[in-house]
């Protein structure tokens, strides 16, 4: 269990959350370290208890088999605290909130834009351009810090190829071609991802992006960080009054937060990917923090999951200059700023959506 910047992360299997007036009572079992997960039951553990006033929280993230009582859920909904259920891999399975108190006019503008192909491709083009530029900036940094000539040359080739993909987006009015540029850019970027790792390459081999489930430690780390970023984007969009399930770049599907996936694209390279690289290079994350399951799936140990959550929240408290506002703000604020910029564009206050490209 972790409480980080108004978000409660529940990661210990068997935890229980109850209500006591305006407080959440969290009971966390302290099992013996060598006790297998299937044998963990309420009668085999001591309990660590924590009281959390509801006004201290904005959201709760639940990972795995954890129970929140109906009265505790009522308390969350009464105070606008969302409850997000994730799989052990970090995949968002469900999000429970109270009745939304949002701007109807903004959502109507969002829905109208989503039904207009020209508007969709214009917004998608900006989102993709931001992601590609941020990916390219990460590789430029890696090339400067890499002493291997062969790897420098390969990085330079991909950097140039990403520049061409950016050029191909200019004025693009075909959504499928825009998505094709994004897909090609992602393939190029991940083809040299290993070259950004300075330490532990043998333990953190990476060949191709794989998900649901991830097939290696790097993919496991990336997928989990992406899930944390996605949670923040859903929260930001909801707080602004936008519907996180109606997007422009990603196709609408049941239970898919398409707009949150749109918004997080520009955050992937410089926030999630960069943090993954830092954790590996600084050897803060190690092979013992992962578990390999039958069938080839790789997932975090409980210790590894807590470590990554802590590192992600610490990273979000660092400051960054927002190029549009020209202000130094905490990284935690950036999804909310970008959601507001998107809302202003949909209302007609801005001519186009401006993605976040940190300098």
pLDDT band at 210 (very low <50, low <70, confident <90, very high): confident
Asked whether the predicted pLDDT for residue 277 surpasses 90, the reply is: yes
Rounded Cα distance between 74 and 54, Å, is: 11
CATH number of domain containing 12: 3.100.10.20
Domains held by the chain: number = 2
Q: What pLDDT is stored for residue 172 in this prediction?
A: 84
232 and 128, same domain (yes or no): yes
Provide the Cα torsion 306, 307, 310, 316; round to 10°: -120
Domain boundary (86, 115, 148) is at 86
Confirm whether 97 is domain-assigned. Answer: no
Write the DSSP symbol of residue 348: T
Q: 259 near 245, Cβ under 8 Å?
A: yes
Query: Is 286 strand, coil or helix?
Result: coil
Confirm whether 352 is domain-assigned. Answer: no
CA 32 to chain CA centroid, Å, is 32
Domain boundary (86, 115, 146) is at 86
Domain boundary (60, 86, 112) is at 86
Q: In what order do the strands lie in the sheet with 67-68?
A: 46-53, 23-30, 16-20, 67-68
Return the structure tokens found at 10.
């529940």
Rounded Cα distance between 237 and 248, Å, is: 14
Q: What pLDDT is stored for residue 191 in this prediction?
A: 92
Considering the entire predicted model, what is its pTM? 0.78
Q: Which of 29-38, 69-78, 82-91 has the lowest mean pLDDT?
A: 29-38
Show the domain range for 231. Answer: 104-347
270 and 147, same domain (yes or no): yes
Asked whether the predicted pLDDT for residue 2 surpasses 70, the reply is: no
Instruction: State pLDDT tens for residues 89-122.
Output: 666 777 787 766 557 889 999 999 999 999 999 9
CATH number of domain containing 187: 1.20.120.920
Return the structure tokens found at 82.
């969302």
In the predicted model, what is the mean pLDDT of residues 51-72?
86
Q: What is the mean pLDDT of the chain?
A: 86
Confirm whether 94 is domain-assigned. Answer: no
Output 82 or 129, whichever has higher pLDDT.
Answer: 129
Q: What pLDDT is stored for residue 39 in this prediction?
A: 61
Nearest to 276 by CA among 337, 226, 211, 214: 226
Helix, strand, coil % in the chain, rounded to nearest 5:
50, 15, 35
Q: What pLDDT is stored for residue 102 in this prediction?
A: 59
Share above pLDDT 70 across residues of the chain, in percent, rounded to a whole number: 92
In DSSP terms, 257 is beta-bridged to none
In the predicted model, what is the mean pLDDT of residues 2-23?
78
247 and 142, same domain (yes or no): yes
């Amino acid at each position: 269990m972790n409480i980080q910047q108004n978000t409660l992360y529940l990661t210990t299997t068997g935890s229980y959350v109850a209500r006591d007036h305006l407080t959440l009572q969290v009971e966390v079992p302290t099992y013996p370290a060598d006790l297998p997960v299937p044998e963990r039951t309420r009668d085999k553990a001591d309990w660590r208890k924590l009281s959390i006033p509801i006004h201290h929280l904005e959201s709760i993230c639940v990972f795995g088999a954890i129970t929140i009582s109906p009265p505790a859920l009522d308390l969350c909904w009464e105070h606008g605290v969302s409850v997000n259920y994730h799989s052990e891999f970090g995949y968002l399975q469900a999000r429970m909130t109270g009745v939304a108190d949002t701007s109807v006019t903004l959502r109507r503008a969002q829905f109208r834009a989503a039904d207009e192909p020209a508007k969709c491709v214009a917004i998608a083009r900006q989102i993709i351009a931001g992601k590609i530029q941020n990916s390219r900036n990460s590789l430029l940094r890696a090339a400067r810090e890499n002493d291997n000539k062969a790897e420098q040359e390969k990085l330079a080739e991909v950097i140039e190829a990403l520049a061409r993909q950016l050029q191909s987006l200019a004025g693009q009015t075909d959504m499928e071609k825009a998505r094709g540029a994004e897909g090609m850019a992602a393939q190029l970027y991940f083809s040299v991802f290993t070259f950004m790792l300075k330490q532990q390459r043998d333990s953190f081999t990476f060949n191709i992006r794989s998900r649901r489930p991830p097939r290696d430690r790097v993919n496991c780390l990336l997928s989990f960080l992406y899930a944390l970023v996605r949670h923040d984007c859903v929260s930001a969009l909801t707080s602004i009054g936008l519907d996180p399930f109606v997007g422009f770049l990603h196709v609408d599907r049941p239970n898919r937060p398409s707009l949150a996936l749109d918004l997080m694209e520009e955050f992937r390279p410089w926030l999630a990917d960069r943090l993954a690289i830092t954790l590996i290079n600084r050897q803060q994350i190690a092979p013992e923090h992962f578990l390999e399951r039958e069938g080839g799936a790789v997932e975090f140990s409980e210790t590894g999951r807590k470590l990554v959550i802590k590192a992600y929240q610490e990273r979000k408290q660092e400051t960054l200059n927002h190029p549009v506002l020209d202000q130094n703000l905490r990284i935690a604020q950036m999804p909310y700023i970008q959601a507001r910029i998107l809302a202003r564009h949909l209302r007609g206050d801005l001519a186009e959506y401006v993605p976040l490209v940190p300098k």
